[in-house]
């Protein structure tokens, strides 16, 4: 066996002394006899935990008013049998936990009866009749749901095991728990040994089952792979699926989802084998992963990069476990403010501790910061950068996506950016085209438009060359390269980041610099966005901006295309866009467009280097099943050039207060935007209506000690490193 | 003088004994010396009122950090000088009230200095330079804002008058108060004597000024018109602008707006002339008007019928005054629950009383009911009907618009309906096309698309004949006729209403019956909608349904119109609609369409009488300035027929819970919808997936004691009156 010798040894010792002792103690996963004793003695029904317990109790009582159906599997996600089995798995868990926390033997009987029913059903089941998944299950159309079911059910079994006769235990273990664990492990090696969130769910289910039924082999396979050689399994997944900063390769949406089995299994390992030090492993990578989920959110919802359904955020069950466990490990009082937006508390020992501390009023605000999340197991495969203009959850934030591809759920959006302000999405990402579990929508799985639109480059706010997506839309190719981060700096005047990308197109390289700049307009920062692209060949370069809001005005006006809306293109996402209106500006001319997002105005100002076409596009063409939301984008387009620099500024301004009938500053403060070029460097000049001039000088050279110089009229700008920031008074940094 | 002798006499006596006594007491409008004494002695800074006072204090302190600008008027609504004068008017009010409630003479000085600045500015002003209003002001582009300004400023003056020297009073009264009151009254008879909300603002401003400066003539003109003969003025407005049920002819949006001057002036009359009994006038019509505002809201926002901006609701300043005054009159504890969603409290005696009672925990939930609001001064010009399926603000509600035209702000939407559920708009009304005070949008006034789209019939959920609007879009014609209400009944099984309309088109009559029907599907009601239209000539009949949500599925499928979106029509609103997709069903066939609105599904099922075309239309064509929101409608269309009956059912069902990854019942329960016709009556049969059959029999005959009979197969339905409701067990009512 090849594995971490120290960890492995520690585990072997414990396996011999605890789980497999003559009288194993239960429960032994996320709840222990000591937890139960404490909770039962201290529980106050009007406390936060007491209310969470009461809510679960009410739900479970309702569920068991009649005997739950355990149907023969028929339906895909969202269908009756699918939802029923999901509910039953959770009900076994909940009833078991309620038995422990209330002492009411009726709950144990509910869990027992369901488990016995599954012990009768499961052995005779073949593969699920819905053939939509490459990894079908037996209870469910995909084996993933089967893993999730067992993660819940094994906790319920663990909670009631002491109430069962030897014969009942044998029936349950031989009828459902072992057959299911075997199905998920030795019978599904392509999932179990995969370095992927489906693999994590499988190893967690099997490993937790091993702890509960006292089968060491399940635990070892879960930790080290089917061959128990450390080339697969939980520890290898911890090594490869997270970056050193706790970033998960698929992005925050799947980071949340994967976190659940990581945390539940890790917490079970900690209960059974505390010497393992699982939460210390890899410089506390699991803890970093929990914090990363929080930091990769805005207004409590995750940044929807890659395949992501946009309604998921901090108030999901995964994060409720995550915050409870992270608080138990850190006693960080700012985590309590996250717990306060989550309901209910998880019914574990950590959940009780968290709830009691929140009730005691110990919460402090979580302070959001500008952060770099390196990507890749070694942290050298690009990065996701978050710039924030303040610590509160609704303040300005820029997301800069310079990550690796993120496997099959990755989007083709190298150097994409998003902007949030005032608690809202302003510059948006479509997320995934999917209505999760809605049978009417293709059975609830990813829709065809996820591939034809949502993943395509034009669905994002980044460069599209010749109307083709990055890597020509092949994620296996995308997986082989990643952007190179160039810069990240954050101070009171400026927060700035940059990266370059060379391999998205065979003959095109582009870099992008994005800055949140304070001191130009009152109270808020503006965003400066500079994208440089170059090729030895001539191309069409499109830079879309997907924006959320109602257009107020554009200057020069965007001219309607008459009385017919035509397609913008034919493939790679363009076939879904209507060309609504357009205009054209010559070199050095400015275009600006102002929109209103609920109660604040936003103006994009851009300056043309060469002639620049501006196209207002609306989403919804070639969508016969109405699978797409009706969204919009402004596309900046240059044609037949080798190189181009896109320079834009986005300014939040003013207020529209409908109820108070008050509107202020609906006009942008920015009166002029210019780019001055010299010797490979640029100076961007921003002039406001007060007459003040601000200059952002960019060398594009990440070496900190190199000096650069550009002369603009009678003024010479000299700075060191990637950028310099100047106003009338000289350089400020 | 022709006027109500009793009232007039009472007034005359009081005018002689109070206001015009040697030492008049101030303040004397919405705050009195007794109020001030009570508030000062009992004020608790952490109370609701204390916090409201502190918030005003903070805002006023910030405002007066530097001397407020009193600019020469230049801008339209939303522009700098417009907003500055608005702010100054409010600041005079606020500073005056703060002086009274805190005793801090600094506030009195602030108000005084501003009033003196206006006394210097105003006399030399000509008409406002922006020529966009038929009734221009001098400080503002429309005289309406000038009235509002004076309503605020006179309260501030009233609050500080005791601090002013005789000379200062003289300067202020002769420089601004009297010239402005004269401008609004004798110099603007076309507004002052108008029976319209602009007139109400003018008479309130002038009347309140009369009380404060002790000029009886202003008060009499305000009450009885410039000629003081009762043919105009406040009392005549009370007689003509409200129906006996407190419904305001223009609809809830303008009801709210008009309520402000009605209430402030009425409350001032009550302070100065309590014997007048102004709040008892016309069977307490002002109190009914306040309650009507609450009852004409959903999820705290007003029903947006006629010209209405949709962000207005119960938390507006007008309703904050309204609830405070209504509570003082009624002590109705359910009003306190409305007060709880309003912030801050108004700083009046009534506001203090309200706040103290809310703080004492005396609030009870406001219970929303199904109600008929008769329209017209005598209550005989149609009605607005609200059907609610429960007392809470987020439960199912149907709005049925069988009102009169509502003057120039009325829409051409006879027998239109709206549907709300789950706290959201489901079947929608566009409201007004206007961005209030947003200078970028045509100066913030009504947009051209308000006429070309928002007012047109096709922008509503009601019958359009030959693609022409009701009354051919002429409101003066519309003003001459109104629908005839036929039915309103509300019980546990059914809530049902009906009306007919004869004059919207010269040769077409139509009637509509809408019911909220319980007991067909579990937990919720369904909506049944039956629209009968007939003519001696052949026509095209369109019935649009504007719905809010994402289409899940349509059956039969709505076929895309290929790769080009074409206009649906050329005029009367149709020129703004793209034809996105369509299908066709033959007589007796069914069409259904399911959509998702956030977290609940809705299915419209309709059955064809003759061949029926179904067109999915999207809003946004011919909108060169991007003034329209991107919305959608399903249009039911029959061509070349004389008569037709549209029969549809709308069913809310299931749940989509993204965070919990739970979807239930995304399919409609309704499997069949049929109409059986016999002798002028109809029986609508609704069959659900349980096999149960429900029958709604409609005679369309409002006479309660007439008996009707229709035979369907081997079953004969016999009922009395307009409708009968039957299931397998027989009739239920």
pLDDT bin (cut points 50, 70, 90) of residue A647 is very high
- Taking CA atoms, A618 is separated from A558, A560, A566, A622, B60, in Å, by 13, 12, 10, 12, 45
- Supply the pLDDT for residue B560: 85
What would the two tokens of residue A3 be? 């594995």
Give the pLDDT of residue B10: 43
Look at residues A308, A269, A217 and name the one whose alpha carbon lies nearest to residue A7: A269
Question: How far, in Å, are A98, B547, B706 from residue B497 at the CA level?
Answer: 49, 21, 18
Distance of CA A602 to the CA centre of its chain: 26
In the DSSP assignment, the letter for residue A471 is G
User: Alpha-carbon distance A30 to A38, whole Å?
Assistant: 14
A254 is catalytic: yes
As beta bridge partners, residue B551 has B595
pLDDT over 70 at B19, yes or no:
no
Q: What is the mean pLDDT of the segment spanning A471-477?
A: 97
Q: Is A409 a catalytic residue?
A: yes
Q: Is B58 exposed, middle or buried (0-12, 13-18, 19+ CB in 10 A)?
A: exposed
Q: Which member of A152, A224, A253, A254 is catalytic?
A: A254
User: Within the 569-628 window of chain A, which residues sit less than 8 Å (CB to CB) from chain B?
Assistant: 578, 580-581, 594, 596, 618, 620-626
Longest dimension (CA), chain A: 93
Residue B95 in tokens: 């500073």
Q: Using only C-alpha atoms, what is the Rg of chain A?
A: 28
Mean pLDDT of all residues in B187-213: 96
- Cβ of B661 within 8 Å of Cβ of A436? The answer is yes
Nearest by CB: A666 against B440, B623, B660? B440
Please check whether residue A315 touches B, CB under 8 A: yes
Facing residue for B553 by CB, picked from A440, A656, A667 = A440
Which two three-digit tokens encode residue B365? 């939930």
Cβ distance A596 to B438 less than 8 Å, yes or no, reads yes
Asked if residue A556 has a cis previous peptide bond (ω within 30° of 0), the answer is yes
Euclidean distance between the first and the last CA atom of chain B, given in angstroms as a whole number:
56
Cα distances (Å, whole numbers) of residue A367 to A248, A334, A337, A349, B477: 22, 7, 10, 26, 62
Which of B552, B593, B626, B662 is the mutation pick for testing A, counting most A CBs within 10 A?
A: B626
Closest by CA position to A191, among listed A230, A135, A152, A241: A135
Distance CA A408, CA A306 (A): 9
- Put simply, whether A656 touches B (Cβ < 8 Å) is yes
Task: Give the largest CA-CA distance in chain B.
Answer: 93
CB within 8 Å: B551 and A656: no
φ, ψ for residue A51, nearest 5 deg: -70, -40
Option in A621, A656, A660 nearest B563 (CB) = A621
Q: Is residue B499 classed as helix, strand or coil in its secondary structure?
A: strand
Q: Taking 70 as the threshold, does the pLDDT of residue A5 lie above it? A: no
Of residues B201, B156, B150, the one with CA closest to residue B177:
B150
B-chain residues near A557 (CB < 8 A) = 624
Residue A627 contacts by C-beta under 8 Å, 6 or more apart in sequence? Answer: A433, A441, A442, A447, A448, A449
Assign A8 a pLDDT band (cuts: 50, 70, 90). Answer: very low
Residue A4 has pLDDT above 70, yes or no: no
**Token pair listed for A694:** 């601000």
Residue A665 touches chain B, beta carbons under 8 Å: no
Tens of pLDDT along B399-454?
A: 999 999 999 999 999 999 999 999 999 999 999 999 998 989 998 889 999 999 99
pLDDT mean across residues, chain A: 94
Pairing mode, if any, of strands A577-585 and A566-567?
Answer: antiparallel
Which tens digit of pLDDT belongs to each residue from B675-710? 999 989 999 999 999 999 999 999 999 999 999 999
B contacts of A309 (beta carbons < 8 Å) = 658
Buried b (16+ CB within 10 A) or exposed e, A272-281: bbeebebbeb
- The pLDDT tens digits of the residues spanning A35-66 come to 999 999 999 999 999 999 999 999 999 999 99
Top-confidence residue, A27 or A560 = A27
**CA of B86, closest CA in chain A: separation in Å?**
9
What's the pLDDT band for A78 if we cut at 50, 70, 90?
Answer: confident
The mean predicted confidence, pLDDT, of chain B is: 94
Residue B17: the pLDDT is 45
Higher pLDDT, A560 or A89: A89
Instruction: Give percent of chain B with pLDDT exceeding 90.
Output: 89
Min Cα separation B447/chain A (Å): 12
Catalytic residue among A26, A85, A198, A409: A409
The pLDDT tens digits of the residues spanning A383-438 come to 999 999 999 989 999 999 999 999 999 999 999 999 999 999 999 999 999 999 89
- Is it the case that residue B455 has pLDDT exceeding 50? yes
Q: Between A77 and A647, name the one with better pLDDT.
A: A647
Give the predicted TM-score (pTM) of the model. Answer: 0.93
Contact criterion met (CB below 8 Å) for B705 and B720: yes
Residues of B annotated catalytic, as ranges = 254, 409
Q: Is the pLDDT of residue A716 over 80?
A: yes
Residue to substitute from A85, A601, A626, A660, interface B, most B β-carbons within 10 A: A626
Residues 6+ apart with CB under 8 A from A566: A578, A579, B563, B564
pLDDT greater than 50 at residue B608: yes
Q: Specify the pLDDT at position B485.
A: 98
**A616 - beta bridge partners?**
A581, A634
Q: What value does the mean pLDDT take over residues A331-356?
A: 97
pLDDT the model gives residue A443: 84
Do the strands B612-619 and A670-678 form a parallel or antiparallel pair, or are they unpaired? unpaired
Q: What is the ipTM of this complex?
A: 0.91
SS3 sequence of A524-557: CCEEEEEEEEEECCCEEEEEEEEECCEEEEEECC
**Cβ contact B50:B344 at 8 Å:** no
Q: How confident is the model at residue B561 (pLDDT cuts 50, 70, 90)?
A: confident
Pairing mode, strands B632-641 and B612-619: antiparallel
pLDDT tens sequence across A210-239: 999 999 999 999 999 999 999 999 999 999
Contacts of B435 in chain A (CB under 8 A): 550, 552, 596, 656
Query: Is pLDDT of A23 > 80?
Result: no
Shortest Cα distance from B645 to chain A (angstroms)?
29
CA dihedral A638, A640, A645, A651 (to 10 degrees): 0
The DSSP code for A686 is E
Does the pLDDT at position A571 exceed 50?
A: yes
Closest-CA distance of chain A to residue B270, Å: 27
Which residue carries 């049978």 as its tokens?
A439
Q: Are strands A301-302 and A371-374 parallel, antiparallel or unpaired?
A: unpaired
pLDDT tens per residue across span B130-174: 988 899 999 999 999 999 999 999 999 999 999 999 999 999 999
Least confident of A12-21, A108-117, A291-300: A12-21
Residue carrying structure tokens 């819970």: B657
What's the CA gap between A62 and A54, in Å, rounded? Answer: 12
Number of Cβ within a 10 Å radius of residue B523: 7
Residue A728 has pLDDT above 90, yes or no: no
Average pLDDT (A563-592) is: 94
Quick one: average pLDDT of B493-510?
Answer: 97
Percentage with pLDDT > 70 across chain B: 97
Q: What is the rounded CA–CA span in Å between residue A119 and residue A139?
A: 12
**pLDDT-derived band of residue A555, with 50, 70 and 90 as boundaries?**
very high
Q: Report pLDDT for B612.
A: 97
Q: Which residue of B has its CA nearest to A79?
A: B664
Residues 6+ apart with CB under 8 A from B289: B242, B246, B247, B248, B255, B259, B262
Task: Look at residue B23 in the predicted model and tell me its pLDDT.
Answer: 61
Strand ordering across the sheet containing B723-727: B670-678, B681-688, B693-698, B723-727, B730-731
């Amino acid at each position: 066996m090849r594995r971490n010798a120290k960890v492995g040894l520690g585990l072997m010792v414990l396996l011999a002394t605890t789980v497999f002792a003559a009288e194993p103690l239960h429960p032994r996963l996320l709840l222990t006899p000591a937890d139960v004793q404490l909770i039962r003695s201290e529980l106050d029904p009007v406390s936060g935990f007491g209310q969470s317990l009461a809510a679960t109790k009410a739900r479970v009582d309702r569920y068991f008013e009649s005997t739950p159906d355990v149907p023969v599997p028929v339906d895909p996600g969202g269908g009756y049998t699918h939802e029923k089995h999901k509910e039953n798995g959770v009900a076994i868990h909940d009833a078991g936990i309620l038995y422990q926390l209330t002492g009411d033997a009726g709950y144990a009987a509910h869990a027992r009866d369901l488990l016995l029913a599954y012990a009768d059903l499961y052995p005779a089941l073949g593969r699920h009749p819905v053939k939509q998944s490459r990894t079908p299950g037996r209870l469910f159309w995909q084996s993933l749901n089967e893993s999730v079911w067992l993660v819940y059910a094994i906790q319920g079994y663990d909670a009631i095991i002491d109430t069962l006769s030897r014969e009942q235990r044998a029936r349950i273990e031989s009828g459902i728990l072992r057959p299911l664990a075997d199905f998920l492990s030795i019978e599904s090696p392509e999932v179990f040994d995969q370095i992927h969130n489906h693999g994590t769910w499988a190893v967690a289910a099997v490993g937790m089952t091993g702890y509960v039924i006292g089968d060491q082999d399940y635990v070892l396979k879960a930790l080290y792979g089917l061959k128990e050689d450390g080339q697969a399994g939980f520890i290898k997944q911890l090594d490869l699926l997270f970056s050193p900063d706790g970033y998960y390769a698929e992005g925050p949406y799947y980071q949340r989802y994967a976190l659940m089995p990581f945390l539940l299994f890790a917490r079970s390992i900690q209960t059974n084998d505390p010497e393992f030090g699982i939460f210390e492993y890899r410089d506390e990578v699991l803890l970093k992963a929990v914090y990363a989920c929080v930091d990769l959110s805005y207004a409590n919802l995750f940044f929807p990069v890659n395949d992501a359904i946009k309604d998921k955020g901090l108030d999901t069950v995964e994060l409720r476990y995550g915050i409870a466990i992270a608080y138990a490990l850190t006693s960080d009082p700012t985590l309590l403010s996250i717990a306060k937006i989550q309901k209910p508390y998880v019914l574990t020992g950590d959940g009780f501790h968290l709830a009691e501390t929140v009730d005691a009023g110990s919460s402090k605000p979580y302070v959001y910061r500008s952060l770099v999340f390196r990507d890749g197991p070694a942290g050298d495969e690009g990065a996701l950068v978050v710039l924030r203009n303040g610590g509160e959850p609704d303040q300005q934030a820029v997301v800069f996506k310079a990550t690796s591809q993120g496997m099959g759920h990755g989007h083709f959006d190298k150097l994409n950016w998003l902007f949030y302000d005032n608690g809202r999405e302003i510059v948006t990402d479509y997320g995934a085209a999917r209505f999760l579990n809605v049978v009417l929508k293709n059975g609830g799985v990813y829709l065809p438009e996820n591939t034809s639109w949502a993943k395509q480059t034009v669905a994002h706010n980044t460069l599209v060359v010749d109307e083709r997506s990055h890597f020509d839309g092949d994620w296996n190719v995308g997986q082989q390269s990643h952007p190179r981060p160039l810069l990240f700096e954050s101070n009171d005047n400026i927060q700035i980041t940059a990266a370059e990308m060379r391999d998205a197109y065979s003959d095109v390289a582009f870099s992008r610099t994005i800055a949140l700049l304070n001191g130009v307009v009152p109270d808020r920062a503006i965003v400066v966005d500079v994208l440089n692209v170059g090729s030895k060949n001539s191309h069409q370069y499109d830079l879309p901006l997907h924006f959320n809001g109602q257009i107020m005005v554009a200057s020069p006006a965007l001219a309607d295309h008459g009385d017919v809306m035509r397609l913008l293109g034919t493939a790679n996402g363009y076939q879904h866009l209507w060309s609504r209106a357009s205009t054209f500006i010559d070199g050095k001319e400015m275009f600006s467009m102002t929109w209103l997002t609920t109660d604040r105005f936003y103006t994009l100002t851009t300056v043309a280097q060469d002639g620049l076409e501006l196209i207002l596009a609306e989403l919804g063409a070639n969508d016969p099943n109405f699978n797409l939301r009706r969204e919009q984008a402004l596309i900046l387009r240059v044609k037949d050039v080798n190189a181009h620099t896109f320079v834009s500024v986005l300014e939040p301004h003013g207020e529209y207060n409908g109820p108070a009938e008050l509107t202020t500053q609906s006009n942008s403060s920015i009166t002029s935007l210019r780019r001055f070029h010299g010797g490979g460097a640029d100076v961007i000049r921003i002039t406001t209506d007060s007459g003040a001039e601000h200059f952002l000088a960019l060398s594009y050279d990440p070496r900190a000690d190199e000096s650069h110089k550009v002369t603009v009229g009678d003024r010479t700008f000299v700075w060191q490193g990637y950028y310099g920031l100047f106003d009338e008074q000289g350089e400020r940094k």
